[in-house]
């Protein structure tokens, strides 16, 4: 990560005379996917896509450990391969969206582990319960997007946690307890966008 981040920092320095120590990136929803995977009776892994969310991150490639992440997801926007299942997942045995309309993740610490990777520890709040979760993050690239001129940073991330830790205990003898999260995301640097008046 250090060499790639150094290149990104150089691009930032050459692009604009001033930018925040931790630039603000808004999630590019056209190029962001948040998925969950869970074992389905041992036959396969069921996959769901979170389509309703808002979030941002603060990122300085020169000091990646100072970065910040804050994402809020609405489980009402879950899409699986079945519309009927989507509706069932909103019920009291699962996400109980009437009582708990949001899932929230906010970072608390970041550890750079090698040239392209780091661990983002944060608090995940699900069903009103808050527990620490670690995102294993891979830094892909930071550069200007040729189609729009926007400066973007791209990351891939994974995490695992037990749903029972958050009180989601329905059908544990059939449906897996371990949930695997996969994230592919691009963020647009809003500070550079504002400075350069990119629209």
Residue with tokens 């892909």: 140
Q: Is the pLDDT of residue 155 over 70?
A: yes
Overall domain count for the chain: 1
Which CATH number belongs to the domain containing residue 95 in this structure? Answer: 2.40.128.110
Q: Give the 3-state DSSP-derived string for the chain, with helices as H, strands as E and coil as C.
A: CHHHHHHHHHHHHHHCCCCCCCEEEEECHHHCEEEEEEEECCCEEEEEEECCEEEEEEECCCCHHHCEEEEEECHHHEECCCHHHHHHHCCCCCCCCCCCCCEEEEEEEEEECCCCEEEEEEEEEECCEEEEEEEEEEEEEEEECCCCCCEEEEEEEEEEEEHHHHCCCCCCCCEEEEEEEEEEEEEEEHHHHHHHCCC
Determine the structural domain holding residue 90 and report its residue range.
2-196
Confidence of residue 15 (pLDDT cuts 50, 70, 90): very low
Q: What average pLDDT score do residues 48-65 get?
A: 92
Contact in structure between 138 and 159 (CB atoms under 8 Å):
no
**In this model, does residue 199 exceed pLDDT 60?**
no
Global pTM? 0.87
Distance of CA 21 to the CA centre of its chain: 22
Q: What is the largest CA-CA distance in the chain?
A: 58
Confidence check: pLDDT of 182 > 90 = yes
Residue 20, pLDDT > 90, answer no
Please state which of the ranges 11-20, 46-55, 77-86, 128-137 shows the lowest mean pLDDT. 11-20
pLDDT band at 5 (very low <50, low <70, confident <90, very high): low
């Amino acid at each position: 990560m250090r060499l790639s981040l150094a290149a990104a920092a150089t691009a930032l320095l050459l692009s604009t005379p001033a930018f925040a120590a931790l630039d603000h990136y808004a999630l590019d929803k056209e190029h962001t996917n948040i998925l969950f995977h869970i074992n389905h009776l041992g036959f396969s892994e069921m996959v769901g896509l979170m389509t309703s969310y808002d979030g941002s991150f603060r990122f300085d490639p020169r000091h990646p450990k100072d970065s910040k992440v804050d994402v809020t997801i609405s489980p009402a926007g879950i899409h699986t391969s079945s519309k009927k299942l989507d509706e069932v997942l909103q019920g009291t045995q699962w996400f109980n969206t009437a009582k708990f309309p949001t899932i929230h993740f906010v970072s608390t610490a970041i550890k750079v582990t090698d040239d392209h990777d780091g661990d983002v520890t944060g608090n995940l709040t699900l069903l009103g319960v808050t527990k620490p979760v670690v995102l294993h993050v891979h830094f892909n690239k930071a550069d200007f997007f040729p189609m729009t001129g926007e400066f973007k940073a791209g990351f891939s991330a994974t995490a695992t946690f037990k749903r029972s830790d958050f009180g989601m205990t329905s059908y544990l003898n059939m449906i897996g307890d371990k949930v695997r999260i996969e994230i592919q995301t691009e963020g647009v640097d809003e500070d550079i966008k504002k400075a350069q008046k990119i629209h």
